[in-house]
Structure 1
């Protein structure tokens, strides 16, 4: 592959997608030029200010407004506030020449071929030869867009279809045009994966490409089954959300968020554009969908859709649900199905899916009708939309947030047995499936020697899934590389003398089994000549914190010796990670809260996925960080003091982060909040985190020096306590903090300032850990703390008391 560097990108079009694509490039440190059209009329505000259409502020109004709207939107498209400074705005008429400085030009204008051609004609005037030029189109064929363009333009042109929001949805579909240089395709596949953190999927230039073709078909198929079975909106969203490893928005809520008009447009375009599709009629709108569309109830953009937000007689916000029979809004329905009740104890999604699919009740019937139809449809799309089956799974999972794709789900249910049931239900799969089964191949995927293989239809053999060779996927190692395990953790050999400890409790909460796993892993690494340890997993969350159930039980029974022992064990385990004779690296992603944050901070380094959300949130359950987190923030604050700095300001930032349970919303914010040390690094692609953490271990193992306990932590004593006490009292009087919040803050204040010391003093880690444990223990005896813990454990929501 030719050495190509992307230093500056031009994004043409600043709408919802364009502005957010621009900001995601800024997230990774790339300079961006964001351009859009010039307004044709002045606003009233501009007229009042005496501005004209020739003023720069007016000419760039559309692009500037769009960028600011994006920056302020939720969820935020930026890792940190500072990255937006990398975006320079302008307009097509005055600033198109700026693309001559860019290495990549991305077109994101309105979905009209005539307008895109006008933009491309302008691009050719200023674009330097060899510059990448791509389109974010979601439906216009590539061959039409390059018509009339130069040879160099056509050679460097490709489709790059991002999914909204670009920061969070991992899919990037790469769609070559007829004359695209293969080297360009290879570069985009690699760059999207390594630098943008995307699941890059190579697509054919077919209507809606892969993800929308399958995803929209799946939704339209489900809509038909909903009408057949008379299910409610609430029932369907209960059946098609997290229980299947899919987003909470499930089916109808997703439609409201995306916009029913958008889904209808895609479905209509697919119906018109797919005359040869054997299931073309599935894209016809059902009676209910057509009626909701005709009423203009398109979802959030119209303030009502399948759901409607309103207020009751007391002014309290309520969410109403559309009755699909009467077309009137009423209370939300909560689907109750025997299958869902019976599956509650099945934590493992790969075990839960086949259980639900085969359950004999209304839910099971719904799953069989919808799953079998989608399985059949996907099998028939090869080789039309993709030559390889794994691309369909990759695209749907990354684009629609599914944890497990169609072919992998079929695998879990048993390929041959499910194929027979599909035929009985009138859903005959493609002939190649029968040929595969007849040849003795029992699955679409398999793992061997740490590698993941897929069934390749043309060769009738298994091949390694491309792009996974330099990634470490623990599921591929489960059959052959397990070193040790218990109920809550598994220790893997991930090669080159490095171990990986995986958690697999609910939300990866840290309990006795995981603490045993950490200690066992470190002991094995130290005594069996391993080079080091990675602590990481492939679950949605790294760890949502400590397991509170046992603590709650002991505290309620006033078994204070047991509570003290639990805290001490947790602290000792964290210190074990800190002072081991081998390097320990945390590979984080998703939530890393409370104990998960404390563990990460006590490792030698963190290899953080960009989407790691880390924080010390113990005040939410009436406590302070008790696993070394309070001590560690005091230590890091002490290390950050420099000559001339106002020490209290630095300490106050750390104090407030804990006292307000602030959570970093990206790895960038983790750095700003002090959770990541100077040798910690960020990985953009989630599936590369463990591999990158392994490389960090190997880097540290060369000449590794075992840490020793710190005894030079500067604390402020009574002077610092007095300053913070004033702030706590002020928050209490201003009703920003309850009486119990204030009590917790004062305990935190005492520990972080080193206790009752007459002057600033240097203390040891052990000293601060003792203060931390004492404060934690005392708070466990408070009734309001137990009420907060109880609310989290039994109601799943925080309590402010």
Structure 2
């Protein structure tokens, strides 16, 4: 069965999770029916309707665009359950009560079509209990699909199939979740908590216990158990604040009630009077009055943390964090630190990694599923078995044995061997049979990390590399710190073009960093500005313009493939590509005005050309200019690839890939599709409005400043942008060439970089990551 067979989905339960799942289905462009109970006879659909309204106001946004929200049809279970017959997948996401779920399934069974997938989003109730009393046909079509919150942003989807589940139907749901919903699917067994929550709750409980027992402050706990262990910057207590302190007792009760009495979690599950009091007093984390951390607004927004010994809030302290190798992920060095730092690290790691080792094969067939679940579900940089490799399985086993603790069989099996290894460029994992097996990528997944493992770069500079992506497609990768753009990137482009033209069919611009690129290297630019190296700055601007136009007019197709931030110069390189295949979570924009600059690598001309050709755009020189000015002067950027199309940073014909792991393969396919008969684009010429248009734009910004919506320097920067977009000295009857626009960009850019107010904006952005409103 093809996942394309899923053309409509029904979600029953419009709470936070159910509504979020419905939004992600709509983000995939698939119609979704959202149902809930009747609470208001005057408006029987109020619960589902209010959920959609809430989604549209939520930040970060569950919908990738407002258009997606229109794909959600609302209703109620009493009146509209018969509509499930129109759906190919029914997702139940109601409260975690077995009796209510079973009652709902009995009703669903009366209406659904045979062969329609039915799944529960439960994270606590075994599948066998859910389907008890149902028909053979219902059991065949039933599975568990455990999403993580928020469904748009969390990639993990745990899928549990029962012994009677139709394997082909399960594959159909998994395929749809992968390609259309962007999920990384982990197949798990029908055990309490499955993988991620079972291990994640254990890890959190072990860390909280250790902090209380060892007298470690929450700042110290988060510093030790955060970055050094590859855990997100929230650390452990910060994570509990994020997910809700009041959720923890429910998870604990669920696991203690369903896990075997001899399960190691039973021994560490305990309550803390302080935490119980915090919940009772409304200190449930970020959603409440505060949590382990809080912002005391009565004390001038002072950051505070709770003292675990006294229960009182105090000013947040800067924790003494591990240094040297321990701070950089050397777990052996971290565990060797004397005193409470090493003791806390061992209390968390020793218990958690030992517990993870015991979950194979109980919760999953192999270690890869365990590692994937924790990386995807809890945003760990490394999975548990990857962390064990950093310590050494033998060393971990030896320390556990020395303390009289049980040693999981898989640690004994590994002995002195690592759980992962590379063999002839292939990543392999240690199986329960004692042999190594290849880590197999799903069909249609191509990762640059795999290509790099077995090849050498065709071109390499300090900030970029060119790789052979196979099938005649080369891949240009940014490699500098945070993938920032500088002269070395432009040099790499200059070297890549003749090589690709001679030996390859097409080029894809892509990387696997957290962000495509946040734009030009501001730190390098600031250094040049502080020493008044204006010639070097102008040389960088001209070099970027030359490199980007060389890409645009290269004799082969160029496809951009961004994921994450593609801002400033990163947006401009995409604007110069023949096509873009963007990950759904791409945040694209020309944000230079925010740091007191104007786009100067050809972005102004490319945006003008795009908007004047846009469907439905009024004719004449002013409409496109006004649209681009509005977007660029406000440093607007898209919150998704779908929104990037609305803002003009992507074309209507550009592609969107939902699953991050499929982006490179999709971009490569798009590039190859452009090869036959490819011709570079013709150089554009512009009719721009000149002085009259510039005056209109200036008056508009002046109005915003008088209303407090723009600062005095915003007005100055906007004037520079207006000078470019309206054609400088040109009159509306004149023709402005692309080269003339580039010269205008350079001129206005250099005016702004010489202004101390721009330098102040750049300095604050580098120091705080926030714009200066001067």
Please indicate, yes or no, whether the TM-score normalized by the shorter chain is above 0.5: yes
How many angstroms apart in 2 are the aligned matches of 1:3 and 1:343? 46
Q: Does structure 2 conserve the Cα–Cα contact (< 8 Å) formed by 1:715 and 1:763?
A: yes
CA drift of 1:112 comes to 0.5
Say which of 179, 203, 207 aligns to 2:192.
207
CA distance in 2, matches of 1:647, 1:369: 68
Q: Which residue of 1 is the match for residue 251 of structure 2?
A: 266
Deviation track 1:503-541 (CA, whole Å, cap 9, x = no partner) reads 2322211123333333333332123x1222222121111
Superposed, 1:11-26 pairs within 5 Å as: 11-26=11-26
Distance 1:796 1:77, change over 3 A: closer
The answer to whether structure 1 residue 575 and structure 2 residue 549 are counterparts is yes
Deviation of 1:634 after TM superposition, in Å, equals: 1.9
Distance 1:760 1:317 in 2: 56
Distance 1:668 1:240, change over 3 A: farther
The answer to whether the aligner puts 1:464 opposite 2:435 as a matched pair is no
Name 1:587's counterpart in structure 2.
561
* 1:784 counterpart = 2:769: no
Per the alignment, do residues 791 and 478 of structure 1 end up closer, same or farther by CA in structure 2, a change over 3 Å counting? same
Separation in 2, partners of 1:702, 1:97 = 50
Aligned residue pairs total: 772
Of residues 386, 394, 397 in structure 1, which corresponds to 2:375?
A: 397
CA separation of 1:643 and 1:291: change in aligned 2, threshold 3 A: closer
Distance 2:471 2:401 in 1: 48
Q: CA deviation at 1:3?
A: 7.0
Separation in structure 2 between the aligned mates of residue 701 and residue 361 of structure 1, nearest angstrom:
63
- Residue 329 of structure 1: how far off its partner (Å): 1.0
Aligned mate of 1:704, from 669, 678, 682: 678
Can you give the 5+ residue segments of structure 2 that lack an aligned partner in the other structure? none
Aligned pair 1:521/2:496, yes or no? Answer: yes
Aligned to 2:311: 327
Shift of 1:444: 2.0
Contact 2:224–2:322 at 8 Å: present in 1 too? no
Coordinate RMSD, CA, aligned: 2.4
CA–CA distance in structure 2, aligned partners of residues 158 and 644 of structure 1: 52
2:145–2:160: 8 Å Cα contact kept in structure 1? yes
- How far residue 427 of structure 1 moved from its aligned partner, in angstroms, is 6.0
- 1:424 to 1:477, Cα distance in 2 relative to 1, 3 A: farther
Cα distance in 2 for residues equivalent to 1:404 and 1:677: 37
Residue 183 of structure 1 aligns to a residue whose secondary structure is helix
Number of the residue aligned with 2:418: 443
Task: Report if aligned partners of 2:256, 2:265 keep a CA contact under 8 Å in 1.
Answer: no
- Within the candidate set 21, 24, 44, 1:59 is matched to 44
Measure the CA separation in 1 of the matches of 2:658 and 2:548: 27
The answer to whether the 8 A contact 1:201-1:391 is kept is: yes
Say which SS state the counterpart of residue 504 (structure 2) adopts. Answer: coil
Q: TM-score, normalised by structure 1?
A: 0.91
| Corresponding residue SS for 1:252 | helix
Report if aligned partners of 1:621, 1:789 keep a CA contact under 8 Å in 2. Answer: yes
Cα gap change, 1:157 to 1:85, in 2 (>3 Å): same
Aligned pairs (5 A) from 1:136-285: 136-241=121-226, 244-274=229-259, 275-285=261-271
| In the alignment, structure 1 residue 542 sits paired with structure 2 residue 516 | yes
Q: The residue matched to 1:172 in structure 2 has which SS?
A: strand
Once the two structures are TM-superposed, the CA of residue 108 in structure 1 deviates from its matched residue by 0.9
Query: 1:376 is matched with which residue?
Result: 354
Instruction: Name whichever of 741-750 and 564-573 sits farther off.
Output: 564-573
Q: Deviation per CA, 1:257-299: give whole Å up to 9, x if none.
A: 2211212211222122221313421222356545544555322
Structure 2 counterparts to residues 329-728 of structure 1, below 5 A: 329-339=313-323, 356=334, 363-420=341-398, 423=401, 429-437=407-415, 442-448=417-423, 451-458=426-433, 460-483=434-457, 484-527=459-502, 529-640=503-614, 644-645=618-619, 648-708=622-682, 710-728=683-701
2:288 aligned with 1:302: yes
Quote the offset at 1:219 in angstroms.
0.9
8 Å Cα contact 1:159/1:175 also seen in 2: yes
Whole-angstrom CA distance in 2 between matches of 1:238 and 1:94:
53
Deviates more, 1:383-392 or 1:752-761: 752-761
Does the CA contact (< 8 Å) of 2:189 and 2:364 recur in 1?
Answer: yes
Would you say the 8 A contact 2:3–2:173 is kept in 1? Answer: no
- Is structure 2 residue 707 aligned with structure 1 residue 731? no
> How far apart in 2 are the matches of 1:289 and 1:278?
22
Cα contact 1:631–1:772 (8 A) shared by 2: no
Q: SS of the residue aligned with 2:570?
A: helix
Consecutive unaligned residues in structure 1, runs of 5 or more: 43-52
Counterpart Cα distance in 1 of 2:624 and 2:583: 26
Task: After superposition, give the CA deviation of every residue in 1:668-694 in whole Å (9 maximum; x if it has no partner).
Answer: 011111111344210000111112111
Q: Distance in 2 between matches of 1:534 and 1:419?
A: 46
2:611/2:624 contact within 8 Å kept? yes
CA–CA distance in structure 2, aligned partners of residues 756 and 641 of structure 1:
29
* CA shift for structure 1 position 371: 2.1
| Residue 243 to residue 571, structure 1, CA distance change in 2 (3 Å) | farther
Between stretches 120-129 and 505-514, larger displacement belongs to 505-514
Give 1:75 shift. 0.9
Give the SS at the match of 1:337.
coil
Q: 1:338 to 1:308 in 2, by over 3 A?
A: closer
| Residue matched to 1:121 | 106
Mapped partners of 1:381, 1:291: distance in 2: 33
Describe the shift of the 1:781–1:100 C-alpha distance in structure 2 as closer, same or farther (beyond 3 A).
same
Give the secondary-structure state (helix, strand or coil) at the position aligned to 1:640.
Answer: coil
SS of 1:546's partner is: coil
Q: CA deviation at 1:731?
A: 1.4
Deviation at 1:656, TM superposition (A): 1.6
- The CA distance in 2 between the partners of 1:138 and 1:291, in whole Å, is 27
User: Contact (CA 8 Å) 2:617, 2:623: kept in 1 or not?
Assistant: no
For residue 677 of structure 2, give the secondary structure of its aligned residue in structure 1.
coil
Assess if the C-alpha contact under 8 Å between 1:373 and 1:427 holds in 2.
no
Deviations 1:520-563 (A, max 9, x none): 33332123x12222221211111111101222222222222222
Q: Distance in 2 between matches of 1:428 and 1:505?
A: 45
Q: Report the alpha carbon displacement of residue 638 of structure 1 after superposing the two structures with TM.
A: 2.7
Cross-structure match for 1:311? 297
1:758 maps to which residue? Answer: 731
- 1:472/1:690 contact within 8 Å kept: yes
Change (3 A) 1:413 1:681: farther
Hey, what's the Cα distance between the residues in 2 that align with 1:358 and 1:591? 38
Partner in structure 1 of residue 64 of structure 2: 79
Indicate which of 767, 784, 787 corresponds to 2:740: 767
Write the distance in 2 (CA, Å) between the matches of 1:336 and 1:584. Answer: 48
Does structure 1 retain, via aligned residues, the 8 Å contact 2:330–2:390?
no
User: How far apart, in 1, do the equivalents of 2:617 and 2:47 lie?
Assistant: 46
8 A contact 1:472–1:494 mirrored in 2: no
Q: Equivalent residue for 2:30?
A: 30
- Contact 1:536 1:588 survives alignment (8 Å): yes
Is the 2:325–2:333 contact (alpha carbons within 8 Å) kept by the matching residues of 1? Answer: no
